[in-house]
Structure 1
Amino acid sequence: MSRSNSSWWASSTSSARRTTLGASAIALALIAVCYFVWMSPANPIAEVRDSVTAAVVDPATVADMKQERNRLLSRTVELESKMDEKNGQLARLSTQLESTQRKLAEVTVETAPVVKDNNPPVSKTPAKMPAKTPAKTPTPVKAPVKTPAPVVAAPVEEPVVIPTKAQIVNPTSRYLGLYTTQAPFNWATYDEVATKLGNEPSMVGYFSGWDETFRANAVTRAWDRNQLPMLTWESRPIGSPNSQVDEPDYQLPAIIGDPATGTPGKYDEYIRQYAKDIVATGLPLAIRFDHEMNGVWYPWSETTGKGEPINGNRVGDYVKTWQHVHDIFEQEGANNLVIWTWAPNIVNNLPAANKSVEFLTSLYPGDEYVDWVGVSGYLRPAYKADNNFTFDYTFGSTLDQLRKISDKPIVLAEIGASEVGGKKAKWITSVFDALADPKNADIVGLGWFNLAVTSYTEGELATNDWRIDSRPESLEAFKAGILRPEDNFNLTPIPTP
């Protein structure tokens, strides 16, 4: 078969040429139409094009948008915090309303016989029927009178009676304190733990650094809940990690100054204003200042286990720093409101040079500068071979030293237990057993560190869940302990819904 030169759509060569020219003309016309449609400002395609072009935003505008987004996120967090607070207040008011309604019902029952006696007796003798009258008009029936419902008075929240400093230092019952993520600024987690315990704690712990001013709302919010605020006040920025011991701006010699030459301390004005703000608030609080000073992990410690200086500090500087801060508070009248709490770490996990009672005594400011003697202690891995997971193993040696140094009341200022090893519930029970022992009657309370924390322990990164409710058996052991009459916590029960 011969190959044809004509196209399939035209029967001859000339027709094919004409057809090709026509098709080309049509294609050019379509291209022109598409161009005008695309460039027309009123067509949808142009609108899409303009939208895409507008999406390429100036970098400065992007930065502004990010800043506005961050502001809105911060505002959202603030509003959520306020909402949690209002929800807590609503829950307390609901509980008070239920209590008031129960009392009203009891009063109603008690007064019922009195009401009955004051009502005239009903005669059982049939009354004579009145004579019929010719009038056949029916007697109008009076509409029943509606008795107004009794008005229940709104519950009145009893005002909190603030104890004196003397009453706080020597309480009639032990304090139960909690450290949570945000209390006393946000009570959500705190209330969740308290609800699981079934009892309201009586002390709330929180931390602050020397880059922060006095936060009066921490104290007022705590006392609004009838709870003693315990501030752990650290002479360093609040954001510094625990593993950082070098803080050149916060060396103890700089804080002290040089009294011999009349050189003031670097932070004297800050300390003085802090004291003034406490006086202005007018409410008491416990201050655990520069705690665990006998360890080697904080910038206010003096020496390492080898006797080398920490953060440029000298032997004797810790006591001088404590006394210096205390003296400024005394000048401003703040010591009438502050329960000064000196709280070293337990000694059994310290370097050998730091374990002796002589070493600990060298760090004690003196009875005239201290109201409570405290201690930090944890059931913390890695456990030594002789650890029997008891209160005495953890705290015994340290308590012996504290009682040799001072006869001040003792507070277990920061304690907790890890679930690692499965001995937490046993250890908790041992703590409450020990508090029932008369030899520990000088212990006026404890503050439980209710957080899960990841930190370095003996050079290894590990997570320890210190929370009371880390496991059901740990929670049950704690609940049983605080209810023991001989432990004398005397907490306020939280009504079950």
Structure 2
Amino acid sequence: MLRLTLPRVLVALVAVLLLTYAFAVAPRTADPLGGGVGSDVAATSRPSASPPPPPPAAEPEVFPPAGKVFIGVTTHEGAYDFDAVDEFTRAAKHQPQVMLFSADWASGRFDRSLFDRVADRGMMPMLAWEPWDYRIDEKAREQGLPLRQIDEIRSDQPDYRLARIAAGDLDDYLLSWADGIGSLGYPVAIRFGHEMNGDWYPWSEATNGNRPGDYVRAWRHLHDLFRTAGATNVTWVWSPNVQWDDSTTPLKSLYPGDAYVDWLGLSGYYGTGYFSDYRNFDEIFGDTIGELRTFTERPLVITETAAADDNGRKVEWIRETFRLLPRHRDIIGVIWFEVDKELDWRIVSSPASASAFAQAVAAPRYDLRWSPEMVPRSRIGD
């Protein structure tokens, strides 16, 4: 049997201490870059650091934001000359957020600069795209013909029959626009064939040899052609005239469907035709809005409106209109027809009209901006 003596005990204790240092202390004190004792163990036993997760992508802003209503403008010269827009802006003391301008299919060719000029001024471009030869209308007006005779002349343009559009006969021309608009990189609204429920344009089903159902077929063909071409930055605006009596075409029969329409539009004026006598905004627009709501809940834009002053009540109409508008939560925009045509619809027609308009649009609900990064609203409640 091994005898325990003091020297043996001391040797054993020293051995234990050396082993403890080698396996426990040295790995933690060795230089990790110098290859000291235990450095390999330490390097392999540390957990690897994971990179922080990327921040969630910000949701794009909706235009217009909830609770806001944009103010737009259209002028005679459109995107070719902004003098009238600047005059309107000064009179209104308000920067419009949308500009509506038109192009016909006979003389209009895609021109990127027109859209860029509008967007560079902080306005979303809205194209009133009209399948006709506008020069026929201009020539008839220059002859001083009665308005109804002008309507009859300009609405007879068989080259632009709706059936030809739907059949693809004009696709080469349409694709040139689809490719151009799709390349813009920011949202554009297209208001194709407006006021189709009247009888004064060649794209009405009541004129130009068109038949019931042709308008919807032409609209859907145009929409699908743009989609196939990759022009997915288009907000499609379906825009009838306000209904004026029981003889007008039911709007539902002209509606392409929610899958083909993003915004509803309406044209309506105080001071002309059926609405020559004083009628407030609700009396002009109310019944038609009610009809629309029987078959669609898309957001609504008043794409053309204004008041004449033949009865001396233009200022009153402007003030009353903007008092009534907040009752219509489905209306997301109002575009003023700043044109002196047949009657002077402009707010700059008098200091009183300009002042009434400026006071109205100074309300917080019209205080907003448009930018190319924003996404056009597609539902009322967004």
The answer for the alignment partner of 2:230 in structure 1 is 333
Return the offset for 1:270. 1.1
**Cα–Cα, structure 1 residues 272 and 173, in superposed 2: closer, same or farther, change >3 Å?**
same
Matched, 1:452 2:340: yes
Return the offset for 1:434. 1.3
Whole-Å separation in 2 of the counterparts to 1:441 and 1:201: 20
Matched, 1:370 2:261: yes
Mapping for residues 2-21 of structure 1, pairs under 5 Å: none
The answer for the alignment partner of 2:377 in structure 1 is none
Whole-Å separation in 1 of the counterparts to 2:236 and 2:64: 10
The answer for the alignment partner of 2:329 in structure 1 is 441
Bigger RCO (CA 8 Å, 6+ sep): 2
**Cα–Cα, structure 1 residues 491 and 198, in superposed 2: closer, same or farther, change >3 Å?**
farther
The answer for the alignment partner of 2:161 in structure 1 is 251
Return the offset for 1:238. 3.1
The answer for the alignment partner of 1:135 in structure 2 is none
Q: Is the 8 A contact 1:169 1:409 kept in 2?
A: no
Whole-Å separation in 1 of the counterparts to 2:186 and 2:266: 24
Return the offset for 1:280. 1.7
Q: How big is each residue's C-alpha offset from its partner over 1:12-63, in whole Å with a ceiling of 9 and x where there is no partner?
A: xxxxxxxxxxxxxxxxxxxxxxxxxxxxxxxxxxxxxxxxxxxxxxxxxxxx
The answer for the alignment partner of 1:129 in structure 2 is none
The answer for the alignment partner of 2:112 in structure 1 is 216
Matched, 1:361 2:252: yes
Q: Is the 8 A contact 2:275 2:284 kept in 1?
A: no
The answer for the alignment partner of 2:215 in structure 1 is 318
Q: Is the 8 A contact 2:112 2:184 kept in 1?
A: yes
The answer for the alignment partner of 2:358 in structure 1 is 479
Q: Is the 8 A contact 2:161 2:210 kept in 1?
A: yes
- SS of residue in 1 equivalent to 2:194: coil
Whole-Å separation in 2 of the counterparts to 1:279 and 1:443: 27
The answer for the alignment partner of 2:175 in structure 1 is 272
Q: Which has the larger radius of gyration?
A: 1
Matched, 1:236 2:132: yes
Structure 1's unaligned 5+ residue stretches are 1-162, 258-264, 304-309, 455-463, 493-497
AA matched with 2:205: E
Q: How big is each residue's C-alpha offset from its partner over 1:324-344, in whole Å with a ceiling of 9 and x where there is no partner?
A: 00010010111x211100000
The answer for the alignment partner of 2:296 in structure 1 is 406
Mapping for residues 118-157 of structure 1, pairs under 5 Å: none
Q: How big is each residue's C-alpha offset from its partner over 1:138-174, in whole Å with a ceiling of 9 and x where there is no partner?
A: xxxxxxxxxxxxxxxxxxxxxxxxx96x823766621
Whole-Å separation in 2 of the counterparts to 1:272 and 1:169: 29
Whole-Å separation in 2 of the counterparts to 1:446 and 1:384: 19
Q: Percentage identity across aligned positions?
A: 38
Quick one: which of 303, 307, 310 aligns to 1:417?
307
**Cα–Cα, structure 1 residues 183 and 300, in superposed 2: closer, same or farther, change >3 Å?**
closer
Whole-Å separation in 2 of the counterparts to 1:251 and 1:343: 19
**Cα–Cα, structure 1 residues 279 and 466, in superposed 2: closer, same or farther, change >3 Å?**
same
Whole-Å separation in 1 of the counterparts to 2:354 and 2:298: 31
AA matched with 1:446: V
Q: Is the 8 A contact 2:269 2:275 kept in 1?
A: no
Whole-Å separation in 1 of the counterparts to 2:80 and 2:213: 36
**Cα–Cα, structure 1 residues 345 and 384, in superposed 2: closer, same or farther, change >3 Å?**
closer
- SS of residue in 1 equivalent to 2:215: helix
Structure 2's unaligned 5+ residue stretches are 1-58, 138-149, 370-382
User: Which moves more between the two structures, 234-243 or 206-215?
Assistant: 234-243
Return the offset for 1:180. 1.5
AA matched with 2:358: K
Return the offset for 1:323. 0.2
